Amino acid sequence: MLFASRPRHWRGGSSRKVDPTGASDPGLAELQLSQARMSVRNGERISVDTTEEAALEQPEAVVQIRGLSKSFGSVRAVSGMDLDIRAGEVFTLLGPSGCGKTTTLRLLAGFEEPDEGEIAFGGRPIVSVSRGISVPPHRRDMGMVFQSYAIWPHMSVFDNVAYPLKTRRVGRDEIRERVLRTLKLVGLEGLEDRPGPLLSGGQQQRVAVARALVYEPRLLLLDEPFSNLDARLREQMRVELKILQRELNIAVLLVTHDQVEALSLSDRIAVMNAGNVEQMGTPDEVYSTPASPFVRDFLGRVLVLPGIATSQVDGTATVTLAAAGHQQLVCDYNGAAIATGQSVSVAIRPEVVSVTAGAKGATSQMNSIEGRIEALLFLGDSYECRIEIGEEQHVLVQVPRTIKWTEGDTVVLGLPREHLTVWPQ
């Protein structure tokens, strides 16, 4: 086990009182105490409108982002984002390269200043462009793990993990106690004297996690934390991180372009595209009921078959496919009205497609189409099979190894109506 058992009192074990705005600072302490609700920017006091602040408060949300935007020149990296991160959840920003994930995380951490918008953390504003509020990064009480880990090579494991406590002027004995406790937590007990460069990739990653957790932040920010690890270690770290997160009950914001990572680790996911959130929901919601073709195609594999709608009655749409011998497919459909003759696409996830050897006969099930095995890849427990449907349509499906498949074989694909989704064009 990479991450060992949880400390008995994770947050309660220390006498230190944590405040998201770093209220150990006398100026910021006023923020909490003042009836007038003041905040600080560059040492200046700025009045905070209590009505607006109250509107940002919601007991469940650790982070509330409203109308957040950031451009770099003509690139709108984040565009009017609204989202909440709830206490104890893993919230993931998922999307392709350049969609604005890291910029969002950096805005939250305080490494970038937004052009517009507000961020509240623990019910208090830490960023408000309109009110001139920007709490500095080191007072935001967020732990961060970078893609590169960014551990210091000239320091031992102990000193790396102790660093955030030293900068916070924690006493020597307490530093020792907390560093050792955190190293135990991440499974690095006994390695405290090891220099940074003499660690494996997985160990460096754990040092980075320990360093982010040692000051008991209320939010852990993870930017592509597993991308430098090999596939097996990545899988292992994923599971261990999930267990650790559940035990500590800490809120996590994860940034990744890896859909498996997002689906397996998250309580909720925001799928981003070109600076916008396309859909927010549980992993099952975004995977099973995608709100847009972008989300549908980005998450997992999908077979998309173009066609023409031939009827739509009582929750059923019938579509004549453009390829596959102009087969008709009957689909469950309760969306917006579709006109007869309208161009549509029908989509289905490959894992719910059944594959049967042989040609399509008169007795074949409804919603079945013929295909030809183009390539078979042996995976050990099954085959990955690329099937050609019509001239330019392909689907990758897994088929059992217990049946003898041969490249070039004709097969029948069964497309259950309840798993088909219809997308008007």
Binding site for ligand ATP (CB under 6 A): 72, 75, 77, 95, 97-103, 257
Q: Are β-strands 382-389 and 393-400 bridged in parallel, bridged antiparallel, or unpaired? A: antiparallel
d(CA 51, CA 128): 14
Nearer to ligand ATP, 170 or 221 (CB): 221
Nearer to ligand ATP, 103 or 367 (CB): 103
Tokens of 37: 């609700």
Q: Is 306 exposed, middle or buried (0-12, 13-18, 19+ CB in 10 A)?
A: middle
Smallest distance from the beta carbon of 270 to ligand ATP, in angstroms? 12
Q: Which of 303, 310, 339, 343 is nearest to 324 (CA)?
A: 303
Smallest distance from the beta carbon of 109 to ligand ATP, in angstroms? 13
Smallest distance from the beta carbon of 4 to ligand ATP, in angstroms? 31
Smallest distance from the beta carbon of 203 to ligand ATP, in angstroms? 24
Smallest distance from the beta carbon of 223 to ligand ATP, in angstroms? 8
Cα of 392 vs its chain's centroid, Å: 33
d(CA 77, CA 276): 9
Cβ(145)–Cβ(175) below 8 Å: no
Smallest distance from the beta carbon of 312 to ligand ATP, in angstroms? 38
DSSP character string of 377-388: EE-SSEEEEEEE
DSSP character string of 10-61: TTTTSSPPP-TT-TTSHHHHHHHH-TT-EEEETTEEEE--HHHHHHH--TTE
Nearer to ligand ATP, 7 or 100 (CB): 100
β-bridge partners, 212: none
Nearer to ligand ATP, 98 or 414 (CB): 98
Nearer to ligand ATP, 146 or 423 (CB): 146
190-226 core/surface letters (b: 16 or more CB in 10 A; e: else): ebbeeebeebeebbbbbbbbbbbbbbbbbbbbbbbbb
Nearer to ligand ATP, 98 or 137 (CB): 98
Smallest distance from the beta carbon of 99 to ligand ATP, in angstroms? 4
Smallest distance from the beta carbon of 103 to ligand ATP, in angstroms? 3
d(CA 197, CA 218): 29
Smallest distance from the beta carbon of 230 to ligand ATP, in angstroms? 20
Q: With the CA atoms of 257, 72, 152 and 229 taken in that order, what torsion angle do they form, in degrees rounded to the nearest 10?
A: 10
Nearer to ligand ATP, 144 or 413 (CB): 144
Residue type (1 letter), 208: A
Question: Is the dihedral angle over the CA atoms 43, 47, 50, 52 positive or is it negative?
Answer: negative
Nearer to ligand ATP, 178 or 238 (CB): 238
Nearer to ligand ATP, 101 or 234 (CB): 101
